[in-house]
A and B are shown apart, each in its own frame.
Chain A
Amino acid sequence: MRQTIFKASGFLALLFGAMLALAGAASANPVRTDHVTATLESEVTAVAPGERFFVALRQQIIPKWHTYWINPGDSGLPTEIDWKLPAGATAEPIVWPVPKRLPVGPLVNYGYETDVRLLVPITAPKDARPGDTLRLEANARWLVCEEICIPEEGVLTLDVPVGPATTIDDGNRAAFASARAALPKPSPFEAAAAAPSTPQADTPLLIEMPTNMAATVAEAYFFAERIDTVVHSAPQKYAAGEKGLTLSLPTGPLPLKSGEALSGILRLVEKPEAGGQTLYFAVTAKPDAALHAAAASGGAAAAQGGGAGSGVGILEAMGLALLGGLLLNLMPCVFPILSMKALSLVHAAAGARRTARAHGLLYVGGVLLSFLLVAGILLALRAAGDSIGWGFQLQSSWFVLLLAYLMFAIGLNLAGFFAFGGGRLAGMGDSLASRSGGTGAFFTGVLAVVVATPCTAPFMGVALGFALAQPALVALAIFLALGLGMALPFLLLSIFPGLLRALPRPGPWMERFRQFLAFPMFAAAAWLVWVLAQQSGPTGLALALAGMVLIGFAVWLARQVTGAQRSWGRIAYGALAGLALVAALATVPVIGSPVVAATAPSTNDGSAADGEWQAWSPDRFAALRAEGKPVFVNFTAAWCITCLVNERTALSSETVRNKFAASGVVRLKGDWTKRDPAITEALARFGRSGVPLYVLYPADKAKPPVVLPQILTEAGVVAELDRL
């Protein structure tokens, strides 16, 4: 009995040993460990000599466990493959798919859960012959972790026949397509990074893109390829600025060195109205030490990036806003207004001190109320689901035009060409002591805020954008602080009238100074006209200049009214002046019309109407459909990242362009950069409120149009065109 047991156990031991030996040494495919099923797959059923093809190491991982990216993050190790290949064959490094952030307590790993394919390009030997078999042997080692970590390995083999031509394995087509979809896309953006100035400072990373495109980013995160270059677990701040999107990456223990490029994967999430897609780009940022200055001045610190960062408290934000408001007083468009107010105070000081105080407070009230009003409108629009930022006004050309006219008119006033209602603007001169002086002071405050708008937009846009992303009360508080900062000098003067004695005495110099102040206003008007030329093209420019001539003419006519000898002369001059003014203002609604918009230069790579793409318009579209032409409509915008990626990767690929040409499909591009209402309506017909939208209309009008996915692939577009 004892012997039998001994024998049995001996047999079991032998069996077990044999199994162990098999598991340890034998090669198989797939290899199953406790946590991972690893499979080596080939994209081809045969490969031609010397050609490159892809294989994939697939890891099917049990729930809750993960393997790692090339940078595993705070712990862990990336999967490694040692290849044993036939002579002359070569294997390239793993092409890593986009990793996930995997938090472990306060630490963060970068890796893969559930199912991942690691692609490896293999090149067959040149001297292989059709009929040969390539035996690929992969000695793969991976660390698989949940709360604990287990190093596992397997030797996987795969035989790939050599044929006269490389043939794709249809059975694996979908698998490799999904593996490629999981790779980061080549970045359409230039990028630059700088070594941190101190080990404690952030590492700035600039993704170059137009400001309006950067403003569509709802989330940004950079996976640095080299371990410990950035603190993997720390949130990353980002901001939209003049040059693009700047990320502030908290510097890790092994910082980027000066002159070193920064590689990794950038994750961007678009705002819902800009497509709402999550995009991954492979980024190699060239070294650029100049980024530090930019990061310090601009956006990076200002905007705590929508989601990730939360470094600034409300009090700190309010303090910054107060300081910013104070600085607004120095802006070229505001300074003249401010100076006029100061001059009026000098006058008042010479007269009644109480009036000076009252006027100062009224001015403060005007500023604060205007800021509250603007903030209120912005918040109301936000509540209504419209996503806009500070400076949104400048996106509409009619507002820019109106502002340009206002600046021009103020300039004329300051230069002394005319006066508003007997007194000069903002209660200058003798009218100061009159009853209208108080109203004048209040509206000077309002005016100061209005003219500050174009100056603030480029610089305060991001900071105020942050404010707008906060709850309504917080946003209002920040706007109020900004207004308070702007009104602060006069508030102080009102509270301490004694300070007025420090101001220079009134005298003839005031008139000269006032006239001089006309020029910053003219400069501001010139800048706005230039902005307008960008938006509305030569037609818009012509309209604006014509409007200004008319305003000048109206001013001259109005001056003739007082000089006219007879009453009918006064009436005629007055009526003509009114007509000229109306004609000038009539340009405002015209400039927003599609007639003008059509002449505007396209900002979208200038390709809106190149040889292959025609500009979309309801009429053009209807005409093509009436002719029975198949039509592909691409609704896009210069600020839309997904659109850009689709145009670069899918729509402009040679295969797709040839396919379009061969199929006779007419390509229409609808540019929504300026929110063309006709396009908005077309989008709404497909239940969309934003771009991109791709619609393919078959020649047969009885057939329904096909809506393509928001992220296009070359194969997807070709497949739809084939189906026509």
Chain B
Amino acid sequence: MDKRSFLKAGVAAMALAGATMFLTGAGATTSGPQVGAPAPAFTAKDSNGKTVNLADFKGKTVVLEWTNNGCPFVRKHYGSGNMQKLQAEATSDGVVWLSIASSPPGYQGHVDGKQANEVVASSGAKPTAVVLDHDSTIAKAYQARVTPHMYVVDAKGTLVYMGGIDDKPTANPADIPGAKNYVRAALNDIKAGKPVSEATTRAYGCTVHYAS
């Protein structure tokens, strides 16, 4: 009889006792946003000084797009017009599109309201609003890690998608035509009344810097 089986046979009762004892110690460690759970609530000011409250959009699909206009991965999708096209499609379907600028002062992509509006104007972006998240509250609540990190919240306020903009994690605009756009696919699923087929994907891009 080897050591292991001897131990098992001899002191199975103790193992059971140990199990009971330590079960209370086992716990969850992740507390981030979960697909299928209510999307974390937030209230913030947009680039025009207006208050944006996620709860106000109940009944509508909401897209959250983390952005940083200096980031090469964001530029990939704006320089090519890919992001603007998706924004226009979505908003014309009644989807609320919130671009969120989380860069704190001194970091790439930090914009005040005026600068944010200039970026929108010069790039021809079509978001419903640009939300300023200078203290990183929303980024932390959603654990947004990169730009562009994309989230979709359904009409009931449930988080139904989080991840990348598409399946080609590169900074090269030439990769866009052959890529599968996960956000477009998610919005189409929602429109068709189906569950989002790919609900969590790999997000890629530049690091989101959190305010300390």
- A: which residues have CB within 8 A of B? 74-77, 104-107, 109, 141, 143, 145, 147-151, 198-202, 227-228, 231, 234, 242-243, 248, 250-254, 295-298, 300-302, 311-312, 316, 320, 323-324, 327, 330-332, 455, 458-460, 463, 523, 527, 530, 534
Contact = CB atoms under 8 A, between A and B. Distances in A.
Nearest to B31: A200
Given A104-B209, A149-B207, A459 B163 contact: no
Which of A253, A330, A458 has the most C-beta atoms of chain B within 10 angstroms of its own C-beta? A253
B146 A331 contact: no
B169 A109 contact: no
B28 interface: yes
Interface in B1-58: 3-4, 6-7, 10-11, 13-15, 17-32, 34
A76 B14 contact: no
Interface residues of B, number: 52
B212 interface: yes
Contacts of A148: 70-71, 108, 206
B29 A324 contact: no
B70 A296 contact: no
B201 to A, nearest CB: 8
B87 to A, nearest CB: 23
Contacts of A332: 11, 13-14
A301 B25 contact: yes
B202 to A, nearest CB: 5
B78 interface: no
B22 A327 contact: no
A141 B108 CA distance: 22
Contacts of A458: 7, 11, 14
A254 B200 contact: yes
A302 B22 CA distance: 6
Contacts of B28: 198, 200-202
A520 B124 CA distance: 82
B134 to A, nearest CB: 14
6 contacts: A109-B207, A227-B202, A252-B30, A301-B22, A327-B20, A530-B6
A455 B145 contact: no
Given A301-B25, A324-B21, A74 B204 contact: no
B11 A455 contact: yes
B25 A77 contact: no
A228 B202 contact: yes
A297 B209 contact: no
A302 B21 CA distance: 9
B32 A253 contact: yes
Contacts of A253: 32, 162-163, 200
B29 A320 contact: no
Contact of A107 (B18, B32, B207): B207
Contacts of B202: 227-228, 254
Nearest to B149: A75
A320 B25 contact: yes
B22 A320 contact: yes
A513 to B, nearest CB: 19
Contacts of B209: 104-105, 147
B107 to A, nearest CB: 7
B22 A298 contact: yes
Contacts of A320: 21-22, 24-25
B190 interface: no
Nearest to A199: B34
Contacts of B107: 147
A297 B19 contact: yes
Most buried by B among A147, A148, A198: A148
A105 B20 contact: no
A450 B69 CA distance: 68
B157 interface: no
A199 B22 CA distance: 21
Nearest to A460: B18
B175 to A, nearest CB: 11
A14 B24 CA distance: 73
A459 B14 contact: yes
A459 B15 contact: yes
Given A74-B145, A105-B209, A107-B207, A250 B23 contact: no
Contacts of B19: 296-298
B170 interface: yes
Leading 5 A-B pairs by shortest Cβ distance: A297-B19, A301-B26, A151-B171, A75-B207, A301-B25
Nearest to B210: A105
Contacts of A312: 25
Contacts of A460: 18
Nearest to A309: B29
A301 B13 contact: no
Contacts of B4: 242-243
A534 B21 contact: no
A148 B75 CA distance: 13
Contact of B13 (A242, A295, A330): A330
B205 interface: yes
Given A200-B28, A320-B21, A459-B14, A104 B207 contact: yes
B192 to A, nearest CB: 24
A460 B11 CA distance: 13
Interface in B157-186: 162-163, 169-172
Contacts of B206: 75, 145, 148-149
A248 B30 CA distance: 12
B26 A234 contact: no
B113 interface: no
Contacts of B170: 77, 141, 151
A311 B29 CA distance: 9
B72 interface: yes
A527 B11 CA distance: 10
Contact of B207 (A74, A202, A243): A74
Contacts of B18: 297-298, 302, 327, 459-460
Contacts of A301: 22-23, 25-27
A77 B209 CA distance: 17
Given A75-B207, A105-B209, A527 B25 contact: no
Interface in B80-98: none
A331 B11 CA distance: 8
Nearest to B171: A151
Most buried by A among B13, B18, B146: B18
Interface string B125-140: 0000000000000001
B146 A74 contact: yes
Nearest to A523: B10
Given A77-B171, A254-B200, 13 more contacts: A75-B205, A105-B212, A143-B72, A148-B71, A198-B28, A200-B28, A200-B31, A202-B28, A228-B202, A243-B4, A253-B162, A331-B17, A459-B18
Contacts of A296: 19, 22-23, 26
Given A148-B71, A458-B11, A143 B171 contact: yes
B17 A330 contact: yes
Contacts of A463: 22
B96 to A, nearest CB: 23
Nearest to A253: B200
A75 B72 CA distance: 13
B13 A150 contact: no
Contacts of B72: 143, 149-151
Nearest to A201: B28
Given A147-B107, A330-B13, A530-B6, A300 B171 contact: no
